[in-house]
Chain A
Amino acid sequence: MINQRDIIETIDMVEKEHFDVRTITMGLSLFSCIREDAKTTADLCYDKICKKADKIVKVAEDLGMKYGIPIINKRVSITPASLLTANFPGKEIVLAKALDKAAKTCGIDFIGGYSALVHKSMTSYEKSFIESIPEALSITERMCSSVNVGSSKSGINMDAVKMMGEIIKKSAQLTADKDGIGSAKLVVFCNAVEDNPFMAGAFNGIGEGETVVNVGVSGPGVVHHALKSLKDASIDQVAETIKKTAFKITRAGQLIATEAAKRLDAEFGIVDLSLAPTPVMGDSVAHILEEMGLESVGCHGTTAALAMLNDAVKKGGVMASSRVGGLSGAFIPVSEDIGMIRAARSGSIDLNKLEAMTSVCSVGIDMVAIPGDTPATTISGIIADECAIGMINNKTTAVRIIPVPNKTVGDEVEFGGLLGSAPIMKVSGYSCEKLINRGGRMPAPIHSNKN
């Protein structure tokens, strides 16, 4: 029989250490729904989503029961919507409403893919689409949006960077009654991936199949617990323990992903090996870093500790899954991680340190609340910096930042649920307006010419 200690370990992971499968995300191609007019396209998209994803909630519940591992979120990601709305610029909202309605009908948590890929240039219909994002996010509840503005291969579209600073600000202003939550559902990427199961940045890329199941595992609490017994161990042993722990949690994800795909009559896409925190105690990435030996996350040594964590998670996870993809790494969203919230409150972490951390882990400046009166060009500057890190280092980076209306440094914002709460963080008071207003395209780095 299976080793008794292993059985108890698995049960403890779930019961005491918040181990779960964070999300089952069904990627759906909606190209077949494109028509000349907004209403027909939106209706066809709604029908296809409801037809394909109607079982996803039940399947997730059944699998959670079968294996004794909770599956927290059930989501759908779609073909980047800017490609679906190309025939009817100015009427994109009709599709946004249909997507939100489909999410509610299927009972899923979020639908992602109200997205545009403009990393090299922008068509007129993509410009119109991006302009629709603030309104679309203000009238929907479960829809998420993302825009890719740069890549290692094509450089950074600085016109799009400038535009996204304004779009983020407008998204926050249109949802001012909810502390700018619209911009919490909007992420700006460099090197966006096509198979990401995590929100707000999930979309079903154009290279993806008709119906794909991507799964995101999680388990910061499990890694944290495993490190507690290594008080005086060398960093090699810490890395080894993280690797082994990542292996175990990823294997559970792989098992659930393959079976979910079968039951949903879909292709198994990837397992995303991310450590995704939640605002509850015992589910924090910051606490892992502190367990490694930091007094408070954000102090010197944080970037090194995070780099090691991120790498060890990947090494363990790659061995455990036949298909690894998505963002795969450690997430450092401020408002969604109890350790990061505390560090932001105490001043031990600031935007500059967060930026450094994003150069060694997945994603980027995530769920950071900043003053509502921050100039749009300053937000664009933050985006440009993150894009540069991603472009030069051949990795995905992103910005999900909330300029909270009518709040400033010293105030706090409460988004509720998984989005958590955060103190408003300080941004530089110096302007980058001239740089941002130059527009154009920042050339791709020399190492992009690999052919």
Chain B
Amino acid sequence: MKAIVTVIGKDKSGIIAKVSGALADNLVNIEDISQSIVQGYFTMIMLCDISASKLSLKDLTALLVELGNQIGVSIHVQHEDVFNVMHKI
């Protein structure tokens, strides 16, 4: 399954390292990544393959949300289909 992991928050050093580290620890492969400053906020979007993940989607989401709280950013994990259906005809 492909998931979109979105990280939004105030820019600071180490955000990418911490998030990608947590993903790697759980065997989640990052297939594509983009990062920019949108409306003054750090915004990182990753397309991840979570088929081999050690954690279920629920637990992975909980882990990343908790990590986001620790480093002061908001993290969302969503199946890619929701964006495909909403924004493509």
State whether the Cβ of B23 lies closer than 8 Å to any Cβ in chain A: no
Is there an interface contact between B57 and A2, defined as CB atoms closer than 8 Å? no
Q: Which of A125-133, A144-152, A200-208, A246-254 contacts B (4 or more CB under 8 A)?
A: A246-254
For the complex of A and B, the 7 pairs showing the least CB-CB separation, nearest first, are A68-B78, A6-B87, A67-B82, A251-B85, A248-B86, A2-B83, A1-B32
* Interface size of A in residues (CB-CB distance below 8 Å): 23
Is there an interface contact between B38 and A8, defined as CB atoms closer than 8 Å? yes
Question: Which residues of the other chain, B, contact A15 by a CB distance below 8 angstroms?
Answer: 74
Number of chain B interface residues as a range: 20 to 34
State whether the Cβ of B8 lies closer than 8 Å to any Cβ in chain A: yes
State whether the Cβ of A230 lies closer than 8 Å to any Cβ in chain B: no
State whether the Cβ of B20 lies closer than 8 Å to any Cβ in chain A: no
Given that A1-B45, A2-B4 are known contacts, is A7 also in contact with B81, CB under 8 Å in the complex? Answer: no
Inter-chain CA distance A345–B7, complex, in Å, is: 43
Is there an interface contact between A252 and B45, defined as CB atoms closer than 8 Å? no
Q: Return the CB mask of A268-300 against B: 1 if under 8 Å, else 0.
A: 000000000000000000000000000000000
- Chain A contacts to B: CB under 8 angstroms: 1-4, 6-11, 15, 62, 65-69, 248-249, 251-252, 254-255
Is there an interface contact between B85 and A254, defined as CB atoms closer than 8 Å? yes
Task: Return B30 CB to nearest CB of chain A, in Å.
Answer: 11
Is there an interface contact between A68 and B57, defined as CB atoms closer than 8 Å? no
For chain B residues 56-89, which have a beta carbon within 8 Å of chain A?
57-58, 61, 74, 76-87
State whether the Cβ of B6 lies closer than 8 Å to any Cβ in chain A: yes
Question: Which residues of the other chain, A, contact B74 by a CB distance below 8 angstroms?
Answer: 15
Question: Which residues of the other chain, B, contact A9 by a CB distance below 8 angstroms?
Answer: 87
Question: Which residues of the other chain, A, contact B58 by a CB distance below 8 angstroms?
Answer: 62, 65
Question: Which residues of the other chain, A, contact B8 by a CB distance below 8 angstroms?
Answer: 8, 11
Is there an interface contact between B6 and A11, defined as CB atoms closer than 8 Å? yes
Is there an interface contact between B81 and A255, defined as CB atoms closer than 8 Å? yes
Residue of A nearest to B46 (CB): A1
Is there an interface contact between A7 and B57, defined as CB atoms closer than 8 Å? no
Question: Which residues of the other chain, A, contact B79 by a CB distance below 8 angstroms?
Answer: 66-68
Question: Which residues of the other chain, B, contact A249 by a CB distance below 8 angstroms?
Answer: 86
Question: Which residues of the other chain, A, contact B84 by a CB distance below 8 angstroms?
Answer: 2
Residue of B nearest to A252 (CB): B86
Question: Which residues of the other chain, B, contact A4 by a CB distance below 8 angstroms?
Answer: 34, 36, 38, 43, 45
Query: 6 extra interchain contacts, Cβ-Cβ under 8 A, other than A6-B86, A251-B85, A252-B86?
Result: A2-B4, A7-B4, A7-B45, A11-B76, A65-B58, A68-B77
Given that A1-B34, A8-B38, A8-B43 are known contacts, is A67 also in contact with B6, CB under 8 Å in the complex? Answer: no
Question: Which residues of the other chain, A, contact B86 by a CB distance below 8 angstroms?
Answer: 6, 10, 248-249, 251-252
Residue of A nearest to B78 (CB): A68
Is there an interface contact between B38 and A255, defined as CB atoms closer than 8 Å? no
Residue of B nearest to A320 (CB): B85
Task: Return B58 CB to nearest CB of chain A, in Å.
Answer: 6
Question: Which residues of the other chain, B, contact A8 by a CB distance below 8 angstroms?
Answer: 6, 8, 38, 43
State whether the Cβ of B28 lies closer than 8 Å to any Cβ in chain A: no
8 residue pairs of the A-B complex, CB under 8 angstroms, read: A2-B84, A3-B87, A8-B8, A9-B87, A11-B8, A15-B74, A67-B81, A255-B82
Question: Which residues of the other chain, A, contact B32 by a CB distance below 8 angstroms?
Answer: 1
Is there an interface contact between A69 and B43, defined as CB atoms closer than 8 Å? no
Is there an interface contact between A66 and B57, defined as CB atoms closer than 8 Å? yes
State whether the Cβ of B47 lies closer than 8 Å to any Cβ in chain A: yes
Is there an interface contact between B76 and A252, defined as CB atoms closer than 8 Å? no
Question: Which residues of the other chain, A, contact B80 by a CB distance below 8 angstroms?
Answer: 2
Inter-chain CA distance A11–B76, complex, in Å, is: 8
Inter-chain CA distance A69–B47, complex, in Å, is: 18
Partner of B83, one of A10, A62, A66, A254: A10
Residue of A nearest to B81 (CB): A255
Is there an interface contact between A2 and B87, defined as CB atoms closer than 8 Å? yes
For chain B residues 20-58, which have a beta carbon within 8 Å of chain A?
32, 34, 36, 38, 43, 45, 47, 57-58
Inter-chain CA distance A249–B45, complex, in Å, is: 22
Is there an interface contact between B78 and A255, defined as CB atoms closer than 8 Å? no
Question: Which residues of the other chain, B, contact A66 by a CB distance below 8 angstroms?
Answer: 57, 78-79
Partner of B78, one of A1, A62, A67, A251: A67
